[in-house]
């Protein structure tokens, strides 16, 4: 980017987290030409984006380059884009209200139990989005959390030779994405995947919150943490965290991970599993596969560090 005056990049959130670490070790760069740093393909952590921008500031990286977007293969990739050059806009909401009432209430001043989520912009031309009740399909109002649905000119009409999946995924012309989201001032805010939500003690805990907290633990590889729910020892759903590490002192890191999770979401994990680098299951585009990781955990097929 510095040598060839590049202007545009696209990558998942963990790529920018790694870039932030690298930028702190480098000097003599000129990133003033970098106009757009598209962040997509996986849940976006505002803290990681801010660390990337802060690390790039001494190298003349503009804060307006941050471009947090939403897309999916079924819509020929792009669904919503923010305003070019506007940088990242963050919505701060009350975590407890989100988990118990499915509503994205703005966080009150002084509230510590907050969740920060990036606004992902508005639909591209030819596309429509709405938030619907996952059970009834009825449209929901602003800040009400439900399933994101998409329709428009670039949305697929179905899955090849899988009519049963097509029937389950589409209704009244709308594609059900499986993503939990809400709308604010016409902009999309994504919360997580419906199938990945962990229900513990009447709370709907989002695995992304746990994974981001764990990534901050020294010795844990950024972008390589998976949290999921499982049947606990007392018949209730419990929390399991699997994280990659290169470190030798695995026990200490696991203890630090457990403490960080408890501090972050108020729920101690039933088990923390430290695994070797590169062993967490991911899709071809780099997305974490929580369901497959859960299956490997139950089948004792994880590669311990």
Per cent of the chain over pLDDT 90 is 87
* Confidence label for 235 from pLDDT (cuts 50, 70 and 90): low
Alpha-carbon span 114 to 97, nearest angstrom: 10
Whole-number Cα distances in Å, 79 to 68, 69, 72, 82, 180: 12, 8, 7, 11, 15
- CATH code, 108: 2.30.38.10
pTM of the model: 0.90
- How far apart CA 216 and CA 287 sit, in angstroms, is 19
Q: What percentage of the chain's residues is helix, strand, coil (to nearest 5)? A: 30, 35, 40
Q: How many residues does the chain have?
A: 305
Same-domain check for residues 206 and 271: yes
Average pLDDT, the chain: 94
Q: Which of 14-18, 145-149, 156-160, 289-293 comes out lowest in average pLDDT? A: 14-18
Taking a C-beta distance cutoff of 8 angstroms, is the pair 224, 253 a contact? no
Q: In total, how many domains does the chain have? A: 3
Same domain, 203 and 291: yes
Confidence of residue 127 (pLDDT cuts 50, 70, 90): very high
Q: Is residue 94 domain-shared with residue 189, that is, in the same domain?
A: yes
Give the confidence band of 202 by pLDDT, cuts at 50, 70, 90.
confident
Range of the domain at 144: 90-194
Q: How far apart are CA 54 and CA 52, in angstroms?
A: 5
77 found inside a domain:
no
* Residue 111, pLDDT above cutoff 80: no
The CATH number of the domain where 281 resides is what? 3.30.300.30
87's tokens = 């940088």
Is residue 76, in this structure, part of any structural domain at all?
no
């Amino acid at each position: 980017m510095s040598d060839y005056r590049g202007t545009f990049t696209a990558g998942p959130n963990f790529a920018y987290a790694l870039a932030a670490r690298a930028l702190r070790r480098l000097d003599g760069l000129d990133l003033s030409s970098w106009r757009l740093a598209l962040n997509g393909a996986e849940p976006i952590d505002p803290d990681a984006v801010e660390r990337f921008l802060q690390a790039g500031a001494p190298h003349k990286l503009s804060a307006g380059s941050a471009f947090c977007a939403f897309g999916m293969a079924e819509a020929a990739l792009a669904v919503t884009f923010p305003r070019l050059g506007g940088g990242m806009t963050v919505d701060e909401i009350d975590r407890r209200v989100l988990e118990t009432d499915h509503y994205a209430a703005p966080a009150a001043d002084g509230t510590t139990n907050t969740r920060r989520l990036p606004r992902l912009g508005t639909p591209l031309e030819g596309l429509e989005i709405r938030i619907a009740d996952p059970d009834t399909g009825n449209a929901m109002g602003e800040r009400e959390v439900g399933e994101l649905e998409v329709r428009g000119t670039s949305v697929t009409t179905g899955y090849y030779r899988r009519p049963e999946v097509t029937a389950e995924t589409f209704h009244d012309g709308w594609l059900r994405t499986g993503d939990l989201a809400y709308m604010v001032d016409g902009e999309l805010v994504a919360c997580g995947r419906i199938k990945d939500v962990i229900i513990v003690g009447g709370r709907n805990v989002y695995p992304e919150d746990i994974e981001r907290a764990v990534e901050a633990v020294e010795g844990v590889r950024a972008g390589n943490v998976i949290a999921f729910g499982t049947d606990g020892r007392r018949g209730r759903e419990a929390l399991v965290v699997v994280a990659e590490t290169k470190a030798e002192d695995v026990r200490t890191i696991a203890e630090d991970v457990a403490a960080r999770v408890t501090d972050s979401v108020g729920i101690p994990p039933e088990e923390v599993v430290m695994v070797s680098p590169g062993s967490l299951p991911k899709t071809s585009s780099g997305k974490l596969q929580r369901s497959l990781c859960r299956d490997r955990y139950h089948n004792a097929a994880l590669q311990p560090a």
